[in-house]
Structure 1
Amino acid sequence: MTLKLDKVNRGPHLSTLVASSISREIAQGRLKPGDQLPTEAALATTFGVSRNVVREAIARLRSEGRIWSQQGRGAFVVESNNPTVLTIDHETLQRADSFRNLFELRGILEVQAAALAAKRRSDADLKAMGDALSGMRAAPYGSVAWLRSDLEFHRTVAEATRNSYMGQFLVFVSERVRESILAAGNQQKSDDMARITLGEHERILRAIRAGDAEGAQAAMRDHLAGAALRVGLHEREAAEPGAPVQEVASPVRHSRLRKAVRGQA
């Protein structure tokens, strides 16, 4: 078994890169069904990363159904080459069309999730959403900590639907979107962007707290329209579920958002 593993570039998504590299070895047949992966220590040395990063990568591969592991024995490639769950390769999402498609899928799911959350949320859900917003307020806009709290907010909205499949799938898609944003580093950053983005999340939370399903849908659409602009997706090609971006945000707010994105506000 000869593997072609290289050190990975430093960044906030190291475990994703390590997992993608191992997945590529499996896809190209250098790691065959039943093969045992190198030890955690060996992989850490090969990739030039910490053992914690390797553990995260292994956990991800295990959740994707590509490997299985047994304490005391190690990790092994699954006997079937077909993963048991949906996977989205990190390299694939570096293509603009793939990222746009994923963003579109996220939008379709999250708008409906917001409506269901407004109908089904509990007090604990509302507190979790509020805590996530507090985490966003406390972190620099666009930082790893900000994006982590942002993801947590959307995760709690998904969980409030009381639909376990929707929750799991939305978290999966949202994590892939977050990783791609971190990798590309193309999110606009400014004080205006922080204020606008927090305002979008606050409107989503207010509608969900009020049990306003239609309001929650509208607030989520507005947020996704703004998010599409902030990550550089063209309006009409972006993930706008159900209506053009121009029909989602009010003219005044949308104009301010455009100026902020361009650094004019």
Structure 2
Amino acid sequence: MATDTAVDFRVERKPKLSEGVVSAIRAQVVSGVYAPGQKLPTETRMGELFGVSRTVVREAIATLAADGLVEARQGAGVFVKNHPTIAFGSISADVGNKVSHALNIIEVRMGLEIESAGLAALRRNAAQEAQIQEAFFEFDRLLERGEATGKSDFAFHREIAAATNNSYYVEVLDALGMRAIPCDVASPWGTDSTLSRDYQEGLQREHLAILKAISAGDPEAARAAMRAHLAASQERYRSLLSGQQAKWLSSILKRKT
């Protein structure tokens, strides 16, 4: 007789303290509690408000700055950026750490970035092409040094969006921020497999195909290369889900033996 209850295959991690601070401040910015250009409370005051240390506050501010919502001005404090991405802030407000969220983000990126790659191939100027290449080689430099490549990965995709010469592509990608890049050590979806050198070298081969198509001015090849890159990312995360299921099954079998 089958008596097993419903199985949840998710492998949860305990949220970091800074993530709660990020979510709270982001919600306040998006809702208008803190307006563009307004200064946030001091680190000490935010620590008191959220019941966390200044180190946790700094980590949260760094995340918000990477997502384009705030900027730190030396000697002056932290200010809400006067930037259109604030209007899209809710897109990344509650991304969480589930693999399903990573898959959802990649799906959104496919709708955005396949066309941006094609437009970049048609519209990029020499300076924009150079910036895409610089981001590509920065990824390679960081990989060789064993450092986190997430920011350079995001920069590569962002420079392609900028090369469309349509600012809305950049704004929506900025709204997703670093959550769009799953291979960085700071990502909630980072795992040993996604951070391996082989994995990241594979990303670079996919990036190279996109770069070559854009440099050649071939919009269809650029779209195809971006589609292949993001589809491969989808498959990698589906494999991660399968791995979670296998891990659960293995643990059940061990308990029964």
Match of 1:211 in 2: 217
Q: Which amino acid aligns with 1:209?
A: S
**Larger relative contact order (Cα-Cα within 8 Å, sequence gap ≥ 6):** 2
Match of 1:220 in 2: 226
Deviation at 1:227, TM superposition (A): 1.9
Q: Which amino acid aligns with 2:214?
A: I
CA distance in 1, matches of 2:64, 2:221: 41
Assess, with a 3 A threshold, how the Cα gap between structure 1 residues 219 and 23 changes in structure 2: closer, same or farther: closer
- Say which of 184, 189, 193 aligns to 2:189: 184
CA distance in 2, matches of 1:103, 1:193: 17
CA distance in 2, matches of 1:72, 1:138: 34
Match of 2:151 in 1: 148
CA distance in 1, matches of 2:69, 2:195: 33
Unaligned runs of at least 5 residues, structure 1:
1-7, 65-70, 77-82, 236-265
Match of 1:79 in 2: none
Match of 1:126 in 2: 129
Deviation at 1:135, TM superposition (A): 1.1
Deviation at 1:192, TM superposition (A): 2.7
Deviation at 1:183, TM superposition (A): 1.4
Assess, with a 3 A threshold, how the Cα gap between structure 1 residues 120 and 48 changes in structure 2: closer, same or farther: same
Match of 2:175 in 1: 172
Deviation at 1:162, TM superposition (A): 0.4
* Aligned-residue RMSD, C-alpha: 4.0
Deviation at 1:86, TM superposition (A): 4.0
Deviation at 1:130, TM superposition (A): 1.1
Q: Which amino acid aligns with 2:137?
A: S
Q: Which amino acid aligns with 2:44?
A: A
Assess, with a 3 A threshold, how the Cα gap between structure 1 residues 132 and 84 changes in structure 2: closer, same or farther: closer
Q: Which amino acid aligns with 2:163?
A: A
Match of 1:139 in 2: 142
CA distance in 2, matches of 1:106, 1:162: 18
Assess, with a 3 A threshold, how the Cα gap between structure 1 residues 55 and 123 changes in structure 2: closer, same or farther: same
Q: Does the residue aligned with 2:96 lie in a helix, a strand or coil? A: helix
Deviation at 1:75, TM superposition (A): 7.7
Give the count of matched residue pairs: 207
Unaligned runs of at least 5 residues, structure 2:
1-14, 81-85, 241-257
Deviation at 1:22, TM superposition (A): 3.5
Deviation at 1:61, TM superposition (A): 9.4
CA distance in 2, matches of 1:197, 1:105: 19
Structure 1, 124-133 or 88-97: larger mean CA deviation: 88-97
CA distance in 2, matches of 1:101, 1:153: 21
Query: What TM-score comes out, normalization by structure 2 length?
Result: 0.64
CA distance in 1, matches of 2:126, 2:96: 36
CA distance in 2, matches of 1:163, 1:121: 11
Match of 1:194 in 2: 200
**Per-residue CA distance 1:56-106 (angstroms, 9 max, x = gap):** 467689949xxxxxx989989xxxxxx744413554433444332222011
CA distance in 2, matches of 1:54, 1:134: 29
Assess, with a 3 A threshold, how the Cα gap between structure 1 residues 204 and 58 changes in structure 2: closer, same or farther: closer
**Per-residue CA distance 1:165-215 (angstroms, 9 max, x = gap):** 111112322533237961122352333323321111111011001100000
Deviation at 1:157, TM superposition (A): 0.1
CA distance in 1, matches of 2:77, 2:230: 45
Match of 1:9 in 2: 16
Query: What TM-score comes out, normalization by structure 1 length?
Result: 0.62
CA distance in 2, matches of 1:61, 1:200: 24
